Structure formats: structure tokens, C-alpha cells
Homo-oligomer: A and B are copies of this chain.
Amino acid sequence: MSNANTMRVITQNALGGPEVLELKEVERPLPRPNEVLVRVRAAGLNPTDWKHRAGGGLLGAPPFVLGWDVSGTVEAVGIGVVTFAPGDEVFGMLPYPYGHGSHAEYVIAPVRALWHKPADVGHVEAGALPLVSLTAWQALVETAGLQAGQRVLIHAAAGGVGHVAVQIAKERGAYVIGTASAGKHGFLRELGADEVIDYRETDFTEAVKDVDVVLDTLGGDTSVDSLRVLRPGGIVVSILPVGSREFYDEAERLGVRAVRMLVDADRAGMRAIAGLIEAGKLRATIAGTFPLADAAEAHRLGDTGRTTGKLVLTVD
């Protein structure tokens, strides 16, 4: 479909439902200094994609190309790049905000956003892991400083970020409590969760206490309620970008910490994640793959919020 100077991308000229997504042929970009051009083989989808498609978010007004996750092959390198060479297999998360993302045949990435794809996972799994893994890593390890023996509560533990966070927390030696609907408890046990809570049947603030770290993937009332299950000095890390005053005021009153975090592209984090994958400590559950041209269909499925595991776009 595309020639040597062009590429196909999924783009949109209006905010809205999956129907605003269009396949277009555009000029293929050139890497600037310390950037590489990646031939995309797989690009994970995340809730941030549905949210930006519908609301613009950090990207503002369209046109833009969504997609922060990428796994693929280095096609060309910009001036000064020594970390990668054409032909190298790489994976990573593009920085926020972006707007010329990975839902395309090719994408420009800063070298500091990438690391070498572990040889023992394919592009689909490698393309599903970066954003969720960096989120969990930065929340649990870098922000909360999770230690062996600590108690961690992970909300929506069977979700994209959640199922990766369970694995990272277990690898650090924590005692892991996860919330999920009953049908997903077996999945969580397999990932290593020590305790599972059916949030439909049970109020977690009554079922859990003395927690050191809460990873809040839900926001709203859950953020504030989560403060009440902490030990003194404990921390809630919320990965949703908007906060309310009450979250911080209540934390101060209770003598605990309340933090809102936004995942950031980072080479050191990708390197740590590659290490976990290579050690067999981290894997992605894939809900489904879709060819790039069928991105709208993947978005429709994502919008339902009912998939278990990650949706991934693939490019041949």
C-alpha cells in the first residue's frame, strides 16, 4: 500500500467514537538527532488511546495519530545515535504528549524511550508490555519504593496495568492483594496474587487493612477510600492524571501519602522490564490482535472495558 517515502497510519480528524479513525497514507518521517525510525511490528492499545480518541486529552485537537506502545525493528537512525543500529529489534513507550504515535507502519522514537526487545518474546507480547509495565514499575518501585514483605493492594488487578503490577510486586517479594470480579480470581492466583477480593460482593475498605502501598487504577472515590486501608506512613499511588483536593487533604489528616503519577517514557525502566521478561518474571496476557487497518474494531472492543488482557495492533 505504501511506497518507500510514505506510510500508512491510523489517524482522525475529529474527536469521537471508533468511527472517527481512518487509515491514511502520509509522508514517512526522518529521525532527528538521537531519534530512530522504527518499523512497527506490533503496537499495544491502552485506555489512554480510547480516552484521547474521544476527548483529545494531552494531545489537544486532531488530527493526530494515537499509540504509545511499540515493538519493531530499527529502520534508520538519526545523527549521534549509538545505542541502536538498523535491524535491531526494539520495544518501548513513546513520551507524553506525542500525537504522531505508533498506530502506523513506522514511528519516530527518541532513543531514550527504547530498549532491546528480549529475544524470547515475540513482537505482539513486546508491543503489549511497555506502557503498562512502566506504569507499574514507576508506581510500585520508583514512587512507592515497594519492599519485600510489604502488603500491596492492586485495584483492577486483572486489568492491563493490574496484571503486570501483580507480577512486579510478587517479584519484589511483596504480599499481593488484588481486586477483580469473581471470574478473574483464578487468573490472578495464577499470576501469584496472595489474596483476591471480589469488589462486587465486598467493600475493600472492610476486607483489607494495614496496607503499605495501594496502586489505584480506578480513581474517583476509590482513590480517597484507598487511603483508609493504609498503615500510618503508607502510600496510595494513583495513575490517573487528574486529582481532587480531597485526596490530598484526607491523606494529610490520616498521616499517609497520596500521589498522582503519570507514566513517563524511560530507558532505564525499559531496561529493568526487559530484565524481568528475560528472567521469566513478567509476561503479558493478550486478549486479541488486529491488523493495523482494523484499528477501529479494536477500539470498539476496548470501549466495552470487558476484555481480559491486552489488545494489540499488528503490522506485517
Contact = CB atoms under 8 A, between A and B. Distances in A.
A119 interface: no
Copies in the complex: 2
B95 A110 contact: yes
B262 A79 contact: yes
Contact of A33 (B34, B142, B259, B262): B262
A212 to B, nearest CB: 17
A170 interface: no
A265 B82 contact: no
B266 A112 contact: yes
Which of A32, A34, A110 counts the most chain B CB atoms within 10 A? Answer: A34
Given A112-B266, A265-B112, A34 B79 contact: no
Contacts of A241: 33, 79-80
Contacts of A96: 33-34, 80
A interface: dominant SS: loop
B262 A80 contact: yes
A81 interface: yes
A261 interface: yes
B80 A143 contact: no
Tell me which of A95, A111, A143, A262 has the highest count of chain B C-beta atoms within 10 A of its own C-beta.
A262
A161 to B, nearest CB: 14
Nearest to A264: B34
A80 B264 contact: yes
A184 interface: no
A142 to B, nearest CB: 8
A268 interface: yes
A51 interface: no
Interface in A83-140: 83, 95-97, 110-112, 138
A298 B4 CA distance: 47
A58 interface: yes
Contact of A262 (B34, B110, B112, B242): B34
Contacts of A266: 112, 267
Interface in A128-170: 138, 142-143
A132 to B, nearest CB: 16
Contact of A268 (B261, B263, B268): B268
A281 interface: no
B265 A81 contact: no
10 contacts: A33-B58, A33-B262, A34-B96, A34-B262, A80-B264, A81-B262, A82-B138, A82-B142, A83-B142, A112-B112
Interface of A: 32-34, 58, 79-83, 95-97, 110-112, 138, 142-143, 237, 241-242, 259-268
